[in-house]
Amino acid sequence: MTTTSDPTPADRPPSVDALARSLADTGLPHPLLVDAAREAIAAGAPESARGVADGIAGALLRPVVNATGVLLHTNLGRAPLATTTTGRATNLEFDLALGERGSRTVHAGGLLARSIGAEEAIVVNNCAAAVLLALAALARGRAAAVSRGELVEIGGGFRVPDVMDQSGARLVEVGTTNRTRIADYEAVVDDDLALVLKVHRSNYTISGFTEETAVRDLAQLPVPVVVDLGSGLLDAACPWLEGGPPAWLQDEPAAKQTLAEGADLVLFSGDKLLGGPQAGIIAGRADLVRACAKHPLYRAFRPGGLVLSALQDVATAYLARTAGQLPFWRMATADAVALRSRAEAIVADTGTGVVIDCASVPGGGTLPSVEIPSVGIALDGDRVASLRSHRTPVIARVVEGRTVLDLRTVEPADDPLVAAAITSP
């Protein structure tokens, strides 16, 4: 058998196995190195095998530095969050007091319910699953009323009418695109109407001659009111932030207040303004939450212990009012003065680029017209591909012919990575 130390005669292609073994230092498992070697040999360019292997390694899930200024970048995993696991068994579904099967809704779900004044809460994989499950469990074979101004597409194929279809609920459109009044909902109340679904217009605004019906008014209807909040702001007062709610959060509906106004259920994401792992939360009236938990789709949509454990930590932080230290909130509220001195330090260290004022955005399909003043570094020309190819990829964007790195979305501890990436050739 050929070994890596054997010189390969120029007139004979190396064996796949030898070439694969010569790439062992990439850290990829052997079968993937064999794939890389085969591809390179088939292309008649065995020397390209390392590049192919690097490409395979680069496509694996790994940390990147988000210098885009988009706080909740869906392509970059939305809210960043550190997690730890012990590698041990957990009481995921085990009641330690009784020594019998327990419920996976009591820990993270219980704490989240506590933090927003809900009777109960359960957790599913994302908010899209929460909407589908709530409709399937509460309105299958019956009617669900939605304002024509809220028949939205959230992105990634999540369109309210399609989700409604999949749930088996019949969509009853009420009102008009720009104005929907309580009388429009009242007109469709009958024995067949199972609920009203109110959908937060997370990713677009309508302005001008508009009117929407407040949750407070919808709560007077004789059917449950389910509110798809999407973004997952827990409490409009933001008691976890020293300075209270930032101005850009104005008008963003929050779970606690929406329930207090009379919503029977609220649905929201774990990885948007909550700042946690990807998850969807269904919270509110106990009988409705339980109906969702009993539905067969819950079994299909429930997250595992990794997510629930991370979400429990996040919920605990909110209850302890330390959620301001979650990466999302820390970045979102970072002071521009601090960002400027970091940018100046990087520019001074590297002798590259200039410090600029820029604007971050919440992203993740939330707060469509909000910009948060920020500070970054501008480099001449389009450098995004080379920044992306760095050992720890740095993701930036091009604005008017310059490459902009927004420091708001960069962990301060990652500044040296940014500096290394911008000076590497």
Ligand X SMILES: *Cc1c(COP(=O)(O)O)cnc(C)c1O
* 8 A C-beta contact, residue 390 and residue 420: yes
Q: Which of 53, 137, 171, 199 forms a contact with ligand X (CB under 6 A)? A: 199
Closer residue to ligand X, CB minimum distance, 177 or 322: 177
Name the residue nearer to ligand X (CB basis): 154 or 311. Answer: 154
Select the span of 121-129, 190-198, 243-251, 370-378 touching ligand X (CB under 6 A). Answer: 121-129
Q: Does 202 bind ligand X (CB under 6 A)?
A: yes
Map 351-363 to HEC letters. Answer: CCCEEEEEEEEEE
Ramachandran category for residue 339: left, alpha or beta (phi over 0 → left; psi -120 to 50 → alpha): alpha
- Binding to ligand X by CB under 6 A, coded x per residue (else -) over 397-416, reads --------------------
Q: Binders of ligand X among 255-294, rule CB under 6 A?
A: 269, 280
- Is 128 a binding residue for ligand X by CB under 6 A? The answer is yes
Determine if 376 is a binding residue for ligand X (CB under 6 A).
no
Question: Is the distance from CB of 243 to CB of 333 less than 8 angstroms?
Answer: yes
**346 lines the binding site for ligand X (CB under 6 A):** no
DSSP character at residue 218: H
Place of tokens 């929907």: 180
Q: What number of chain residues touch ligand X (CB under 6 A)?
A: 15
Query: How open is the CA angle 253-258-259, to the nearest 5 degrees?
Result: 155
Determine, following the binding rule CB under 6 A, whether residue 231 of this chain makes contact with ligand X.
yes
Smallest distance, ligand X to C-beta of residue 142, A: 21
Q: From 132-140, 175-183, 199-207, 336-344, give the range in contact with ligand X by CB under 6 A.
A: 199-207
Among 112, 137, 154, 367, binds ligand X (CB under 6 A): 154
158 makes contact with ligand X (CB under 6 A)? yes
Name the phi and psi angles at 123, rounded to 5.
-120, 135
Closest distance of CB 272 from ligand X, Å: 6
Minimum CB distance to ligand X smaller for 130 or for 394? 130
Judged by CB under 6 A, the residue of 16, 49, 71, 127 near ligand X is 127
Q: List, edge to edge, every strand of the sheet that includes 402-406.
A: 70-72, 354-363, 372-380, 402-406, 397-399
The stretch near ligand X (CB under 6 A) out of 125-133, 190-198, 295-303, 410-418 is: 125-133
Amino acid in position 327: P
Q: Which residue in 356, 410, 400 sits closest to 378, CA to CA?
A: 356
Contact 365, 396 (CB under 8 A): no
Residue 248 phi, psi (nearest 5):
-70, -10
> Is 365 a binder of ligand X (CB under 6 A)?
yes
Distance spanning both ends of the chain, measured CA to CA: 39
Helix (H) or strand (E) holding 155: strand 153-155
Check if the beta carbon of residue 397 is closer than 8 Å to that of residue 53.
no
With respect to ligand X, which residue has the nearer C-beta, 200 or 302? 200
Should residue 230 be labelled a site residue for ligand X when binding is judged by CB under 6 A? yes
Nearest Cα neighbor of 106 from 127, 92, 87 is 92
Query: Applying CB under 6 A, does 362 fall inside the site for ligand X?
Result: no
What is the smallest separation between the CB atom of 242 and ligand X, expressed in angstroms? 27
355 interacts with ligand X by CB under 6 A: no
Segment lying near ligand X (by CB under 6 A), choices 175-183, 225-233, 295-303, 383-391: 225-233
Contacts of 294 (CB under 8 A, 6+ apart): 137
Rounded CA-CA distance 226/267 in Å is: 8
Residues that bind ligand X (CB under 6 A): 126-128, 131, 154, 158, 199-200, 202, 228, 230-231, 269, 280, 365
